[in-house]
Amino acid sequence: MEIIINNLSKRYGKKEVLKNISLTIPEGMYGLLGRNGAGKTSFMRILATLSIPTNGDIQMNGVSIKETTKVREMIGYLPQDFSIYKNMTVFGALDYLGLLSNLPNKIRKERIYTLLEQVHLKDNTKTKVKALSGGMKRRLGIAQALLHNPQILIVDEPTAGLDPEERIRFRNLLSDFSDGRIVILSTHIASDIESTCQNVAVLNKGNILFHGSTETLRKQADHKVYLITVPKSLDKPIKEHYYVLNRNSTNTGIQYRILSNTPPNELAEIQTPTLEDGYMYLLQQAEGES
Ligand SMILES: Nc1ncnc2c1ncn2[C@@H]1O[C@H](COP(=O)(O)OP(=O)(O)O)[C@@H](O)[C@H]1O
Ligand SMILES: [Mg+2]
């Protein structure tokens, strides 16, 4: 199973929001990382056949996204602004959606109960949608996207607004579903994909800055991350000269975690980069070039 994206671009009027993207997405969990406005939602809407590319094509298991009906059978989609029938119950909403997608009665009920169990909502079948917490709503969104048992699951910024526990729980849930499937998860937070995605693409201003393993992205910042402590009087020049990843006031001065191509001074301690460091380094490089 794979998704092959070939020279994809998207324009809204004169504005090009996706620029000639080529990418292969393999089975498992795939992260799409980028700042707000990078083009993640535009890209995912094309993958979900809700928007038509200006140029290029996507093949999902050999089927072009132009074959909308066939592709829709293959994909499940959880939009960024997911909301459904807030006055219905959890079960009622899913049952209704299942009816709309022509799932036969018996299969529909069985599937809904199985899914509600998997997304840990089986005690909430009678809860009204409007009474669910943010995390529960997102989990209902996943159940909705998986109703027709798709091979490809597309999830747009699902962790936004979730508290840390819900976030971890939700990530683990997606990871469970990625067995034998492709799960594409977009986010602007590197740590969302650090623990769960084997592969990642970084989108910036409509361009793919990086695609490959999360480990390779992390290593972009190898030998570039330093810890230094300086007196408070040097706060301004440090901030002006370096990209500061982290700043901490201590008794002896201010401790900075910074990006630098060379050691900033003799006392600087080199640090092992995190995925976020690799991502930040990449964005910094791109800023420098533009
Ligand atoms: N329907 C639209 N019409 C015009 N511009 C759009 C439309 N949708 C998105 N954009 C623009 O495309 C760019 C990418 O947006 P989006 O795909 O939502 O990014 P992200 O999801 O990464 O935040 C933004 O500059 C946004 O303003
Ligand atoms: Mg978005």
Summarize pLDDT for 179-220 with one digit per residue, the tens: 999 999 999 999 999 989 999 999 999 999 999 999 999 999
Regarding whether 179 and 36 lie in a shared domain, the answer is yes
Asked whether residue 258 falls in the same domain as residue 123, the answer is no
| 288 pLDDT more than 90 | no
In-domain check, residue 285: no
Structure confidence at residue 135 (pLDDT) = 85
Say whether both 27 and 112 belong to one domain: yes
CA pair distance 94, 258, nearest whole angstrom: 48
pLDDT at 164 over 90: no
Residue 100 binned pLDDT confidence (cut-offs 50, 70, 90): confident
145 and 230, same domain (yes or no) = no
pLDDT surpassing 80 at residue 156: yes
pLDDT at 289 over 80: no
- Here the CATH number for the domain that contains residue 39 is 3.40.50.300
Own/partner long-range contacts of 9-12 (Cβ < 8 Å, ≥24 apart): 9/53, 9/54, 9/55, 9/56, 10/39, 10/42, 10/43, 10/46, 10/51, 10/53, 10/54, 10/206, 11/54
The reply to whether 286 falls in a domain is no
For residues 111 and 166, state if they share a domain: yes
Whether residue 156 is found in the same domain as residue 255 = no
pLDDT band at 128 (very low <50, low <70, confident <90, very high): very high
Whether residues 143 and 263 fall in one domain: no
Q: Note whether residue 91 is domain-resident.
A: yes
Total number of domains constituting the chain: 2
Query: Are 153 and 68 within one domain?
Result: yes
**247 CA to middle of ligand 1, Å?**
32
Substitution site in 8, 11, 17 for ligand 1 pocket (most atoms within 8 Å of beta carbon) = 17
What's the burial of 26, exposed, middle or buried (CB within 10 Å: 0-12/13-18/19+)? exposed
Ligand 2 centroid from CA 220, angstroms: 25
69 lies in a domain? yes
Statement to judge: residues 99 and 128 lie in one domain: yes
Q: Provide the domain limits for residue 247.
A: 223-272
pLDDT of residue 159: 85
What residues have a C-beta under 5 A from ligand 2, the ion?
Answer: 40-41, 80
| Site to substitute for ligand 1 among 42, 45, 51, 154, most atoms within 8 A of C-beta | 42
Distance 35 CA to ligand 2 centre (A): 9
* Mean of the per-residue pLDDT values of the chain: 93
191 and 100 co-located in one domain: yes
pLDDT, residue 290, reads 63
